Amino acid sequence: MKLKNLRKKIDRIETRMQEDSKKLTRMKRKLNALAAAKARKAQRKAATRAIARQTTGSPMLTQRNGPGGGKPKRKLNLSPERRAALSAAMKARWAAKRAAVATGMQDTATGQVFVVGQLHRSP
């Protein structure tokens, strides 16, 4: 290889390395800027929550079941008569469940009655 060609190759490699280093510093700056923006956003969000907590006196009620709660609970639009009917039905169901547990039976909803020591099907 001639000396002239070797010098040209070395010059090309050096210029490529300088361009790559410039590109690397540009990318690092961009990464730092994105990280700083993300931190600012999180800090702003925390401050907003703290202010909301101070003004309402309780945690924000938009979420249900803790931080990963999902949709807020929807209020049912029921008439007083329908609400009373549902309440009576639920109370009857709970009373039947308590009675079944008290007598030693399990799972009366499926039509099977389980008694300790025996297994038979209810009519």
Residues 97-116 pLDDT 10s: 999 988 876 554 555 555 55
pTM for the complete prediction?
A: 0.37
* Residue 65: per-residue pLDDT: 52
3-state secondary structure of 98: helix
* Residue 121: per-residue pLDDT: 52
Q: Which residues contact 78 (CB under 8 A, 6 or more apart)?
A: 86
Residues 38-96 pLDDT 10s: 999 999 999 998 888 888 755 444 444 556 667 787 888 889 999 999 999 999 999 99
- Beta-bridged to residue 121, according to DSSP, are 112
